[in-house]
Amino acid sequence: MRRSLALALVTTLVLLAAACGGSSNETATPETVEGEIPQQTVAEGDPAAGKEVYSAANPACGSCHTFSPAGSSAEVGPNLDESLAGTDKQQVLEAIVNPDAEIAEGYQPGIMPKTYGEELDDKQLADLVAFLTES
Ligand code: HEC
């Protein structure tokens, strides 16, 4: 008697587990997340306003970077005409507010100022990123 009760219990558990297993395939969210999930999302910006930010920032981006839509041709940092191709807005924002997190190949950390995240407000940063990625 005891044994068949135990068997019935096991059978029920197996059936339950099978039922759960079937539905878990339908979850829309991945269960394992690799890497970091970006905390900041980049708002839509105004490229024309971003052009102003590019030259009004202190120090001006154009004092170190070449970027032809802005008419700047300095060579201290990477040529943004070339290096921004294929990057997304989140990466560009990250490169501006946290420049030492990832260093462009062939360049030294500590040269690009780390102050822009404080100096520029969210709108100015969104505009600047729009200018850099949409021009
Ligand atoms: C004092 C010089 C200097 C100034 C001013 C400066 N940068 Fe930079 N920037 C650098 C250097 C050097 C690097 C390469 C090292 C690194 O990746 O941080 C760089 C990297 C970058 C990158 C990443 C490029 C890549 O190929 O990954 C972006 C984007 C960028 N700067 C945008 C800006 C913007 C926008 C401004 C103005 C708000 C600015 N920089 C101001 C020197 C400067």
Asked if the structure places residue 26 within a domain, the reply is no
Predicted local distance difference test score (pLDDT) of residue 17: 55
- Owning domain of residue 82: 47-134
What's the number of CA atoms in the CB half-sphere (13 Å) around residue 5? Answer: 2
Predicted local distance difference test score (pLDDT) of residue 5: 64
Ligand 1 pocket, residues with Cβ under 6 angstroms:
57, 59, 61, 63-65, 76-78, 80, 83, 92, 95-96, 99, 103-104, 107, 111-113, 116, 128
Counted domains in the chain: 1
Predicted local distance difference test score (pLDDT) of residue 70: 98
Predicted local distance difference test score (pLDDT) of residue 35: 75
Predicted local distance difference test score (pLDDT) of residue 42: 85
d(Cα 72, Cα 112) in Å, to the nearest integer? 16
CA distances from 66 to 12, 31, 75, 84 (A): 69, 43, 6, 11
pTM equals: 0.77
Asked if the structure places residue 2 within a domain, the reply is no
Query: Secondary structure of 46-103 in the HEC alphabet?
Result: CHHHHHHHHHHCCCCHHHCCEEHHHCEECCCCCCHHHHCCCCCHHHHHHHHHCCCCCC
Q: How far is the CA of 94 from the centre of ligand 1 (A)?
A: 11
Asked if the structure places residue 36 within a domain, the reply is no
- Picking from 123, 66, 65, 125, the residue whose alpha carbon sits closest to that of residue 96 is 125
pLDDT tens for each residue of the chain, 135 residues long: 566 666 666 656 565 555 555 455 565 666 777 776 655 578 899 999 999 999 999 999 999 999 999 999 999 999 999 999 888 999 999 999 999 999 999 999 999 999 999 999 999 999 999 999 998
Predicted local distance difference test score (pLDDT) of residue 8: 65
Q: What is the CATH number of the domain that holds 64?
A: 1.10.760.10
Asked if the structure places residue 84 within a domain, the reply is yes
Asked if the structure places residue 110 within a domain, the reply is yes
- Picking from 92, 109, 112, the residue whose alpha carbon sits closest to that of residue 50 is 92
**Contact between residue 44 and residue 126 where contact means Cβ atoms under 8 Å apart:** yes
Q: Whose CA is nearest to atom 11 of ligand 1?
A: 77
